[in-house]
Amino acid sequence: MKMKEISPGIFIETDHRGANYAGIMTDAGVIVVDTPMVPEQTRAFRRELARLAGGKPFLYIINTDHHRGHILGNQYFQPTPVIAHDQAWKHMKGYGDNFKQRVIDSFKKEPEIQAQLTDIQIIVPKITFSHRLDIVRGGRDLRIIRIGGHTAATSVIWLPNESILFVGDAVWVDQHPYMAQANSKEWLDGLTYIRKLKADKIVPGRGPICGREATEKMSEYIRFMRARVRMNYRQGKTRQETVQNVLREIAGWFPIPLALKSKTESQIKQGIGRIWNEMDKAGKAKGKAEAEAEEISED
């Protein structure tokens, strides 16, 4: 296993299932950014980080959100404390047998991975924050900042001295993002915030290291989806009709591997439906406000 060193003492792993993962070496020990979901990959990731650390301890695990691709490997780093947003803690403490079974079922076509998932333990965050948490340790300055969007818990990790920004699943490079729990307006605001930091290197949740251009592509994608959903909604199209219409228009934005076509299209549909719900909620709120204003004027 060979991790890529993107700056002195900062290593990333982009070839594991689930997401991108990282280890930040400090004079005091290692800070881990997200953990792999396949046990054998997590063990290999941990061994390599331990080797690179030269005997220094693991200090913290930072989970950029609460999805399985970011948190399942936490158990293999214990007793290292986990840091995440308040909302991540809220979700993770509720992960019980049903969640674990869904994880196992997601690998039904890969029995060799299922065989590794016999003892899933959910390690919830011990340290949480609501907006921002700063870590100054071992010569490193890390700022963990909640931006939301992809999930209510989605957070970025800014290293100002190195001008490196870990953005979790706020950015997907050349891939359709997972939006089933998204707030699309908040996501756009978060991408604007990312650009304002003017990082030299952005480590996305999925895909290779990127720069500002990848965040702009994400913004274009979300704005396009919002505009097409809004148009269908205003034309009186149902949620199901809107999902089918917009899917045809947006599926070609990023390449979809044939083996993942069904899964990816299902995820795109979830995202479109999520935005339709946002539009519907806003439309009903506007209608209610207008009705109340009319009643007041009649009084």
CATH number, domain at 9? 3.60.15.10
Q: Supply the range of the domain harboring residue 168.
A: 4-213
So what's the pLDDT on residue 271?
97
Q: How confident is the model over 32-48, as a mean pLDDT?
A: 97
Q: Is the dihedral of CA 91, 96, 100, 102 positive or negative?
A: negative
Q: Has residue 86 got a pLDDT over 60?
A: yes
| Paired tokens of 150 | 């992809």
**Average pLDDT for 236-264:** 94
Q: Residues 19, 122: one domain?
A: yes
Whether residue 75 is found in the same domain as residue 107: yes
Whether 131 and 162 map to the same domain: the answer is yes
Same domain, 258 and 196: no
Residue 210 β-bridge partners:
202
pLDDT tens by residue, 118-166: 999 999 999 999 999 999 999 999 999 999 999 999 999 999 999 999 9
pLDDT in tens, 168-181: 999 999 999 999 99
Of the chain, the end-to-end C-alpha distance in Å amounts to 74
Asked whether residue 253 is assigned to any structural domain, the reply reads: yes
Do 206 and 246 fall within a single domain? no
Distance, in Å, from the CA atom of 179 to the CA atom of 138, rounded to the nearest integer, reads 36
Residue 266 in domain: yes
The H-or-E segment that residue 255 falls in is none
* Distance (Å, whole) CA 83 – CA 129: 8
Do 15 and 53 fall within a single domain? yes
Cis peptide before 8 (omega within 30 of 0): no
DSSP-derived pairing of the beta strands 140-146 and 132-137: antiparallel
Is residue 297, in this structure, part of any structural domain at all? no
Q: Is the pLDDT of residue 291 over 90?
A: no
User: Does any domain span residue 294?
Assistant: no
How many angstroms separate the CA atoms of 216 and 20, rounded? 20
Q: What is the pLDDT of residue 208?
A: 95
244 and 117 fall within a common domain: no
Q: How many domains would you assign to the chain? A: 2
Which pair of structure tokens corresponds to residue 208? Answer: 């290779």
Q: What mean pLDDT value characterizes the chain?
A: 94
Residue 278 within a domain: yes
Q: State how far the Cα of 219 lies from the Cα of 204, in Å rounded to an integer.
A: 14
Inside any domain, residue 293: no
296 pLDDT more than 90: no
d(CA 276, CA 144): 31
User: In what order do the strands lie in the sheet containing 127-129?
Assistant: 4-7, 10-13, 21-25, 30-33, 58-62, 82-85, 127-129
Same domain (yes/no): 261, 196: no
Cα–Cα dist 269/261, whole Å: 12
Residues 194 and 227 reside in one and the same domain: no
Looking at the structure, tell me whether residues 201 and 259 fall in a common domain: no
For 8-12, 38-42, 205-209, 294-298, which range has the lowest pLDDT when averaged over its residues? 294-298
Which strands make up the sheet holding 155-159, listed edge to edge? Answer: 132-137, 140-146, 155-159, 164-172, 201-206
| Whether 148 and 170 share a structural domain | yes
Residues 252 and 202 in one domain: no
For strands 21-25 and 10-13, give the pairing. antiparallel
Whether 112 maps to a domain, the answer reads yes
